[in-house]
Structure 1
Amino acid sequence: MRKFFYIAVVVFLLGNCIGFAQDKKELVLIPKDSVAIKKTTINPLAPAKAAFYSAVFPGMGQAYNKKYWKLPLVYGALGTTIYFYISNNKKYHQYRDAYKRRLEGYYDDNYSYLDDSRLIYAQKFYQNNRDLSALLTALFYVLNIVDANVDAHLMQFNVNDNLTIKPDFYNNDFTKKQELGICLRLKL
C-alpha cells in the first residue's frame, strides 16, 4: 500500500512539472499607429496541433481550424480510394485463385470462359489498380495533414485594411478614359 502511495506522489509531482514546462507562449502584436491598443494573440503551436489532429484522425485538423466544409472533401477522397482499393484487391484475389486452380487442373470456377493468358492479364490489371488506389490513399492522407497545417498557418496571417491589394479604376488624364490598375496600400 505504501509503495502505491509513493508511486502516486511521484507521478503527481512529475505530471505537474511537465504541465508547467509546456505552457503556451503567446506573441502579442500591437500596431504602432493605432489609437486604441488592440492585442492580437498568435498561437505558434496551432499549425502543429492541427497537423497532429489530422494525422491521428483524418479531417480532425480541418475541424480544429473550423473549416467544416473541407470534411466531406477529405472523407470523400479517402473513402473513394479505400473503396477502390478493397474492390480491386477482391477482384485480384478472385482471378489469382482461379488461375491457381487452373494450374492444379480444375476448370470449375466462375471464369471458365477465360483462358490462362486472360486470367494473368486480369490479375496484373487489378493488381496495378489496387496499388494505384493504395498510393492515392496515402497521397490524400498526407494532403489532409498538409492542408490542416497550412490552413492553420494562414489563419494567423495578418489581413486587414492596412495591408491590401485590390483592382482599381482610375481616369487617365492624357486619354480621358478609365483604365484598370492595381492599388497597393501599406500603412505602417
Structure 2
Amino acid sequence: MNKIVPISLLFFLSGTVSFFAQVKQETVLVAKDTSKLEEIDPLRPAKAAFYSAILPGLGQAYNKKYWKIPLVYGAIGTSMYFYLDNQKKYREARNEYKRRLEGYEPNEKFARLDDSRLIAAQKFYQRNRDLSSLFVVGFYALNIIDANVDASLIQFNVNERLSVRPEIYPTDVTFKPNVGLTFNYNF
C-alpha cells in the first residue's frame, strides 16, 4: 500500500500540472484589403435588359430589386386595361354607327346619341386607345431601361476614397469668390 500512494500521488500531480499549464495560442490578425475592387461583369446590364425584354420584371428580379416588380406590372397592366376598355367602347360605337347606316333602329344603349355624336365617340375612344397603346409600349421600354441602368449602377464603385466637395476659390484677376466642385481620389 505504501507503493500505491506515491504512484497515485505522482499521477495526480502530473494531471494537475498539465491542467494548470498555460497553452500559448497565436492569434493572427488579417487586415481586409480595401483597395481590391469587386469583379465587374460587363455583360450584367445586357443580361438584365434581355431578361426584362423576355418577361417584364425579370430583369428587376435578376438585379434583386424585387420591390420594382409590382410597379412594372401595375404600370403595364393598367395601361393594357385602358387599351382594352377603349378598344371595346370604340367597337361598340363603330358597330352602332354601321347599324344606323344600314337602316336598323338605334340600340337602346345609344338611342339618345345622334350620328355626329357616334362619330365623335369613335374618334374619342380611338384616340384614347392609341394613347393607351403608347403607354403600354412606353412602360415596357422603361422596364427594360430600368433593368439595364440598375444593373450598371450596382457595379458602380462607391467607397470612402472617392469624394466630391464644394470649394470656394478666388479668381486670378478680380479675386472675387467662385464656387466649384472638386473631385478627389485618395490612394
Q: Please, what TM-score do these two structures have when normalized by structure 2?
A: 0.70
Encode CA deviations 1:131-173: one digit per residue, 9 max, x unaligned. 00001110110111011111111111101111123679xxxxx
Residue 39 of structure 1, CA deviation = 4.8
SS at match of 1:41: coil
Seen in structure 2, the aligned counterparts of structure 1 residues 118 and 63 have a Cα distance that, compared at 3 Å, is same
* Residue 96 of structure 2 corresponds to residue 125 of structure 1: no
- CA distance in structure 2 between the partners assigned to 1:150 and 1:139 by the alignment: 16
Distance 1:157 1:79, change over 3 A: same
Distance change >3 Å, CA 87–CA 161, structure 1 → 2: same
Residue 53 of structure 1 pairs with residue 58 of structure 2: no
Structure 2, unpaired ranges of 5+: 1-30, 168-179
SS at match of 2:110: coil
**Structure 2 CA distance, aligned partners of 1:166 and 1:82?**
46
| Aligned pairs (5 A) from 1:166-181 | none
2:159 alignment partner, SS class: coil
- Tell me how far apart the structure 2 counterparts of residues 35 and 131 of structure 1 sit (CA, whole Å): 57
Change (3 A) 1:115 1:186: same
1:79 to 69, 77, 80: 77
Match of 1:63 among 61, 82, 94: 61
The 2-side partners of 1:73 and 1:35 are apart by 39
2:88 counterpart of 1:97: no
Residue number in structure 2 paired with 1:9: none
Distance 1:66 1:166, change over 3 A: farther
Displacement after TM superposition at 1:182 (Å):
6.7
Distance in 2 separating the partners of 1:161 and 1:185: 11
Deviations 1:84-113 (A, max 9, x none): 000000000000000000001112412011
CA distance in 2, matches of 1:106, 1:42: 70
Q: Distance in 2 between matches of 1:104 and 1:93?
A: 16
User: What amino acid sits opposite 1:133 in the alignment?
Assistant: S
1:139-150 alignment, distance < 5 Å: 139-150=138-149
Equivalent pairs counted in the alignment come to 144
Q: CA deviation at 1:185?
A: 3.9
Q: CA deviation at 1:38?
A: 3.0
| Local SS of the residue matching 2:105 | coil
Deviations 1:11-61 (A, max 9, x none): xxxxxxxxxxxxxxxxxxxxxxx9836351111111110000000000110
CA distance in 2, matches of 1:100, 1:51: 45
Q: Distance in 1 between matches of 2:130 and 2:96?
A: 20
Specify whether residues 186 and 95 from structure 1 end up closer, same or farther in structure 2 by C-alpha distance, changes over 3 A only.
same
Which position in structure 1 is the counterpart of 2:175?
A: none
Partner residue in 2 for 1:116: 115
Amino acid at match of 1:90: K
Q: How far apart are the structure 1 equivalents of 2:165 and 2:53?
A: 37
